[in-house]
Amino acid sequence: MIGVRLKLARTATGFSLRGLAAAISHCVSAQSIGKYERNEAMPSSSTLIALANALHTTVEYLLGDPDLVLDDLEFRKNGFISKREEAQVEATVLVYLERYLAVEDILQLQSIRWDVPRDVPYPVFHSSIEADRAADALRYYWGLGHEPIPNLVELLEERGIKIFAFPLGGLGGLAARARRPRLPPVPIVVVNAEDWGERQRFTLAHELGHIVLDISPDLDAERVAHRFAGAMLMPAKSLWLEVGKHRSSIPLGELLALKHVFGVSIQALTYRCRELDIINQTTYRALFNEFERLGWRTHPFKEYGAMDGERPNRFNRLCLRALAEGAISEAKAAEILDVGMTEVSNYMRGTLSSSLEVE
């Protein structure tokens, strides 16, 4: 039944029952839509398509599992984004998450359990500096030491976090927990597929912070998550080893080289150096004035040496594994992966396409 999701979509887009009826050219009445929302009736296929179009969502979303919901949504915004756009992103995440979980069920994997680190959620009650200790504790639990993380997407997927990359417009990313009856919650992070690699990595670490931290309402949650991301990607001991504990200046060439060591932006590196008092406020301001002159402080914020993104591959791998083992047909694989039959057939013959390529 579609009642729960239909009402959520209508509420998110701001339609009244009468307004939605008008938006679909009164092919059904407001009273009929009310019955759909109360699960007292089901719309015809043509009405369902009209409702999905008017609500800027998909039929697949409306027909999806009403018991699968996203909680604790945290959006990282690059600019203004409307409630309607947020609702569209939420619907897209739910659609792809349902496909992901369906493939795991087909393979009887029962989903990789979220490897909940000891002492999570880590408390950050007094100062954002506590986020550094949280990042150190998480790295210790996951056995990462103090070295840079070569592939953050792969690490998080191995730990049971579902990673998706979609074009998000004014959103940098989001974190959420998917909840299902009688099953443990599934943590999710979504990055903007249009961002370059170092920005995506920072978003992943930032959203991970929202998942594992318990932040006091008296603190700026975004600033704390930023501090956690910096500590996760650039541990103090590792950064001190590379640049020293105190510097009077750091040239752009050195920052560019370090960017590729840690997989972060030059600006994130500079900010982290200031957090750790490696550079003073005067040097920090001088560097950011230079970044402003170079155009890095305005949209699209792209710097020298932009890196390719780390692609989430586990969902594709599992789907193609199910196909290879005969658990699903090529037609079903194409439907789940949202690609054409030709692409799936080419993959099975050994001719990879860019959308199905896995690493």
Q: What is the pLDDT of residue 336?
A: 85
Q: What is the pLDDT of residues 19-77, one digit of tens each?
A: 999 999 999 999 999 999 999 999 999 999 999 999 888 898 899 888 888 888 888 87
Q: Cβ distance 132 to 236 under 8 Å?
A: yes
Residue 311 main-chain phi, psi, to 5 deg: -85, 130
* Alpha-carbon radius of gyration of the chain: 23
Nearest to 50 by CA among 37, 71, 64, 33: 33
Contact 180, 162 (CB under 8 A): no
Most confident of 156-170, 207-221, 344-358: 207-221
DSSP 6-29: HHHHHHHHT--HHHHHHHTTTSS-
pLDDT value, residue 112: 64
Phi, psi of 350 (to 5 degrees): 95, 5
Instruction: Provide the pairing of β-strand 122-124 with 213-215.
Output: parallel
**Beta partners for residue 192, in sequence order:** 166
Structure tokens at 247: 């510097």
Residue 354 has pLDDT above 70, yes or no: no
CA–CA distance, 353 with 347 (Å, rounded to integer): 7
pLDDT in tens, 162-201: 999 988 887 889 999 999 888 888 999 999 999 999 999 9
The CATH label, of 3.50.50.60, 1.20.59.10, 1.10.10.2910, 3.40.50.300, for the domain at 122-293 is 1.10.10.2910
Which H or E run includes 343? helix 341-348
Q: Is residue 55 within 8 Å of 13, Cβ to Cβ?
A: yes
Phi, psi values for residue 174, rounded to 5°: -155, 155
Query: 180 in helix, strand or coil?
Result: strand
Cα separation, 124 vs 216, whole angstroms = 6
State the average pLDDT for the chain.
90
Q: Which residue intervals of 107-185 are DSSP H helices?
A: 130-141, 152-158
> pTM for this one?
0.84
Residue 339: predicted pLDDT: 85
CATH 1.10.10.2910 location in the chain: 122-293
- As given in the structure block, the two tokens for residue 298 are 């305005």
Contact 336, 355 (CB under 8 A): no
- CATH 1.10.260.40 placement within the chain: 1-66
Whether the CB-CB separation of 2 and 42 falls below 8 Å is answered with yes
The superfamily in CATH containing domain 1-66 is: lambda repressor-like DNA-binding domains (1.10.260.40)
* Token representation of residue 4: 């729960």
For residue 291, what pLDDT band results from cuts at 50, 70 and 90? very high
> Taking the alpha carbons of 55, 58, 64, 67 in that order, is the dihedral positive or negative?
negative
Residue 306 in tokens: 């932009």
Distance of alpha carbon 136 from alpha carbon 202, whole angstroms: 16
